[in-house]
Structure 1
Amino acid sequence: MRPPDLERFSVADERVAPWVAAFAALALYLALPSFRFNHDGVACAIAVELADVKHLLHGNHLLYGVLGLTFHSFLNAIGVPLNALWSLQLMDSLLGAAGAGLFCRLLLRLKTPVWIAWLAAMGLTISHGWWLFSIDAQVYVLGAALLLPAWTEALEEKPRPYVLAFWNSLAVLGHVLNVFFFPAALYALWRSRESNALRRDMMRYCLASAVFVLGAYALAAEHGVRPAGAEELKLWLLGSAALGPGRSFLWYAPSSLGSGLADWARAGMRVVSPVMPVGAALWALAVLSKLSKNSAPRFAITTAWIAILSYLPMTLSYEPYSFDYRVTDLVGLWLLAALWLRGRRAASSPPNPWAVVFLFALAATNMAGAMRTHQRPEANRQYQKALWYKGTLPQNAWVASVGLEEVYVPYFAHLRPLSLRYFDGRPTALRERIEALARRGEPVFAASDSLSPKWIAHLDGLGLQYVDRFEEFEIYLIRSYWNGKPKGRR
């Protein structure tokens, strides 16, 4: 006779469904890995392999790099032969899958029928932004996954302020953008308490959050980053906002409110699907959930909308065209869609066939519109070029690099990059640097796609010697002191 627990095992069981959602998501992510290899992910992998804790403690996402180093070290300790980049991508897949399971659990705690909870969790799994950042080494899914227990606590009948503060603070350490969840957290405390208890618990939440986050940053600064002074501390805390000339403050604001709103709306749809009507359909369901008068819990709908709109001051004013910062929207959107469906269907009703059709359409459009390209290594031309460099150029070569090449050249080609951005507007300094390398017998190469008219003007007087070609890329030697074609690594 089988144990009672096994007798009751069913994917429709509320205790089983979150695990099924998590393992289904993980199976998808592991079966279809990404070869997109974004700049930040490769840069983080370099820091992980160097165990460079100072650069892993990024001011905008304190936790990701250190967690990646820990995970990579663990894999190496148990004999899993992955480089740091693939370790980070595996970690993100686990985080994305865990997020799907936690989201399914959240919906079940709101008394959502199992089939709705499971379908909504799968919708989150295959949404463009969540899917992409669960298979590509990037920071965004960590903060979003850590925020899910905060969502769950906020939607309890009487949220506990310290638990809410703990998970919200962890999500902020995952990405600082998640500080904008606090209005939803405060609403959760407000709607569940009388005035005296409300003031006390709001203070508890705010104080605990501040102590947790500021304490973590203080420890990181003191024991990891160790800034030399106030200016270096400021640059560390600014993070990606200090990427202007000379690491000056730079805010990528829209040119006008109208263009910003248009970009914000497009990014909101693209985080769901690159096919805009599909993304718009999910937003329409979210709006319907607010307008409909059904049995869905109104406090949950209000919490979700507060959470989505609270991020608006940031996502509208900084890179509104980017869906990177909109991944957290997906939890609110799928929660609202699930609640709308729940309010229209009895708990015992069979799955809505149109919901299933929508999921298939979402999966198909996201695969065809984006994910299939990311899963083909030959589609990443910069990656293929770096592999060609590795097998062709001499080991003492330098490669004049812009953009992705700045991290691809050292990580994939195992050569040294000459980062041209540091010489922007400084042609004399660039020529002197190349001439100094020439005197040491270290050749500098450049690919045709890196040699824009601006950089060709910077190289005036040095000359470009054609040496080889890799598919659509012509390869040049800067300054013709090195004779002949490269004959392979030596």
Structure 2
Amino acid sequence: MPSDQFSIADETVAPWVAAAAALALYLALPSFRFNHDGVACAIAIELADVKHLLHGNHLLYGWLGMVFHGIVQALKLPLTALWSLQLMDSMLGALGTGLFCRLLLKLKLPVWIAWLASMGLATSYGWWLFSIDAQVYLLGAMFMILAWTEALSEKPNPYRLALWNSLGVLGHVLNVFFAPAALYSLWRSRDGITLRKDFMRYAFVSIVFVTSAYAIAGIYGVKPADLEEFKVWMLGSAALGPGRSFRWYMPDSLATGIFQLLQSGFRVVSAYWAVGAVLWLGALAATFSRNSAPRYAIRTAWLGIIGTLPILLTYEPYSIDYRVTDLVPLWLMAALWMRGDELSPPVRVWPVVLVACIAAANMSGGLRSIMTPEMNRPYQKALWLKGTLPPHAWVASSALDEVYVPYFAHLRPLNLRYLQKPGQLKARIESLARRGEPVFIAADTVKSLGVERFVGLGLQPIDQFDEFELFLIRTHGAVR
């Protein structure tokens, strides 16, 4: 191709086109879902609360979000921390899409397949969702695409492999289970003394890099006061039991866990599990059919998926959050399936139809609703509370209200999670009433927690907005 001619079929241009197309999609259709963790992270950023940004399960995301929001502010862009995080995630999702296209081209796949599979990744339910919602998962996933690229090269460099894998672990700790795929990639390209040395190099660099990052974060950022606080920090989301105690979210039985794991594997591809199952069938077809695909790439892909299964089978197997990294090896095998037994096949209609169906199913099957602010009812309630209550009011809060009330309503939340013992809630309300600070509660909060939590308290109706009803909480000792 002449140097002065531009074409999306050019291998150097295609990844940029894929990234730009994904970014345009994400920015054109932003999310108003505002999940709990994303809003909590935005609060910590706006408070410059470094300690709570350095989460034990995903060390790097909150800190990077704070840096990115600082850049946004320096550029005078009128974005809150939450919208900065969503912009950052859109850029991470788009960058991951472009890097995945580049990976497929390095495997000598035709440009049309590389571009199409990249668009399939970009519009898969989990990837699309976390590219427009403030969540932690795509930072690690983006680094892991670089780890995949190194692992699938002719002779992977153990130092680069360890670097990208370690950055993926700092994005999310679950990426430590990429190790079997990484070790296999070294094993299939080496032998004897060189293999043992490179195993040790990969392991040593990974351990030193990750432990050093956690040590720096602990010493200069989190600064745990004692061993118990250190344990809670390291456990992260597994320390969300009563009183920050350890809690492992296991399925009821092995059969239930397997069923939920299958469902989440399908749903991370598509909101409709039957559509998602097609991609898994494509991965199986690439595995067992006679085609031109490099067998080491397929083996590495399956090791990347299988490596996480033991932990996912016992911890929240129903969640798609931890299955996002499966999308990379899945679409890799799907791309090899699309090529079939020809090295340079012509453009075929059925892969285009498959990707279009997945994108359309995801848009209609859940993503469209989160792109409309009116569909986020807790968000609408928070905006209503902001215009209804005085600035010195407290709102008894649980679930999303714990972060929505301070962030969107600009009111003080009375977190009911920490007031579960008998008499605690009443005593706290009486204390606030003596300071002239009223406490309100919405009817949906009372219903979700059960009216027995509020025995001995009076609920005086104050106002109503659509399906929401607001009460002033009264106690015998507090209000005369």
Amino acid at match of 1:375: M
1:479 aligns with 2:474: yes
| SS of residue in 1 equivalent to 2:472 | strand
Among candidates 283, 290, 293, match of residue 286 of structure 1: 283
Equivalent in the alignment of 1:413: 409
Among candidates 323, 327, 331, match of residue 326 of structure 1: 323
CA–CA separation in structure 2 for the residues paired with 1:454 and 1:268: 32
Q: Offset of 1:455 from its aligned partner?
A: 4.8
1:84 aligns with 2:81: yes
CA–CA separation in structure 1 for the residues paired with 2:74 and 2:410: 24
Please tell me whether the aligned partners of residues 427 and 459 of structure 1 are also in contact (alpha carbons under 8 angstroms): no
Q: Offset of 1:457 from its aligned partner?
A: 2.2
Size of the alignment, in residue pairs? 478
Amino acid at match of 2:366: A
1:366 aligns with 2:362: yes
Please tell me whether the aligned partners of residues 109 and 343 of structure 2 are also in contact (alpha carbons under 8 angstroms): no
Amino acid at match of 2:71: F
1:106 aligns with 2:103: yes
CA–CA separation in structure 2 for the residues paired with 1:313 and 1:69: 34
Please tell me whether the aligned partners of residues 92 and 137 of structure 1 are also in contact (alpha carbons under 8 angstroms): yes
Please tell me whether the aligned partners of residues 26 and 94 of structure 1 are also in contact (alpha carbons under 8 angstroms): yes
Equivalent in the alignment of 2:13: 16
Amino acid at match of 1:89: Q
Q: Offset of 1:398 from its aligned partner?
A: 0.5
**What pairs up with 1:341-352 in 2 under 5 angstroms?**
341-347=338-344, 349-352=345-348
Distance 1:353 1:51, change over 3 A: same
CA–CA separation in structure 2 for the residues paired with 1:359 and 1:342: 15
Q: Offset of 1:86 from its aligned partner?
A: 0.1
> Moved runs in structure 1, 4+ residues, more than 4 A?
480-483
Q: Offset of 1:194 from its aligned partner?
A: 1.2
RMSD: 1.4
Amino acid at match of 2:107: L
CA–CA separation in structure 1 for the residues paired with 2:470 and 2:189: 66
CA–CA separation in structure 2 for the residues paired with 1:52 and 1:384: 27
Q: Offset of 1:90 from its aligned partner?
A: 0.2
Equivalent in the alignment of 2:179: 182
Q: Offset of 1:345 from its aligned partner?
A: 3.8
Can you give the 5+ residue segments of structure 2 that lack an aligned partner in the other structure? none
Q: Offset of 1:343 from its aligned partner?
A: 2.8
Deviation digits for residues 147-178 of structure 1 (CA, Å, limit 9, x no counterpart)? 11100000000000000000000000000000
Amino acid at match of 1:456: V
Tell me the TM-score normalized by structure 1: 0.96
Equivalent in the alignment of 2:112: 115
1:452 aligns with 2:452: no
Q: Which moved more, 1:257-266 or 1:357-366?
A: 357-366
Among candidates 135, 142, 146, match of residue 143 of structure 2: 146
Tell me the TM-score normalized by structure 2: 0.98
Identity %: 65
CA–CA separation in structure 2 for the residues paired with 1:231 and 1:323: 30
Q: Offset of 1:217 from its aligned partner?
A: 0.3
Please tell me whether the aligned partners of residues 291 and 342 of structure 2 are also in contact (alpha carbons under 8 angstroms): no
Amino acid at match of 2:355: L
**What pairs up with 1:215-294 in 2 under 5 angstroms?**
215-294=212-291
Amino acid at match of 2:416: L
1:423 aligns with 2:419: yes
Deviation digits for residues 73-132 of structure 1 (CA, Å, limit 9, x no counterpart)? 011011111000000000000000000000000000000000000000000000000000
**What pairs up with 1:36-51 in 2 under 5 angstroms?**
36-51=33-48
CA–CA separation in structure 1 for the residues paired with 2:450 and 2:257: 32
Equivalent in the alignment of 1:6: 4
Among candidates 433, 458, 466, match of residue 461 of structure 2: 466
CA–CA separation in structure 1 for the residues paired with 2:60 and 2:233: 14
| SS of residue in 1 equivalent to 2:471 | strand
Amino acid at match of 1:367: M
Among candidates 375, 381, 396, match of residue 377 of structure 2: 381
CA–CA separation in structure 1 for the residues paired with 2:449 and 2:2: 73
Can you give the 5+ residue segments of structure 1 that lack an aligned partner in the other structure? 484-490
Q: Offset of 1:293 from its aligned partner?
A: 1.5
Deviation digits for residues 382-436 of structure 1 (CA, Å, limit 9, x no counterpart)? 0000000011111111001010000000000000000111112x13011000011
CA–CA separation in structure 1 for the residues paired with 2:261 and 2:412: 38
Q: Which moved more, 1:378-387 or 1:333-342?
A: 333-342
Distance 1:472 1:16, change over 3 A: same
Among candidates 399, 402, 424, match of residue 398 of structure 2: 402
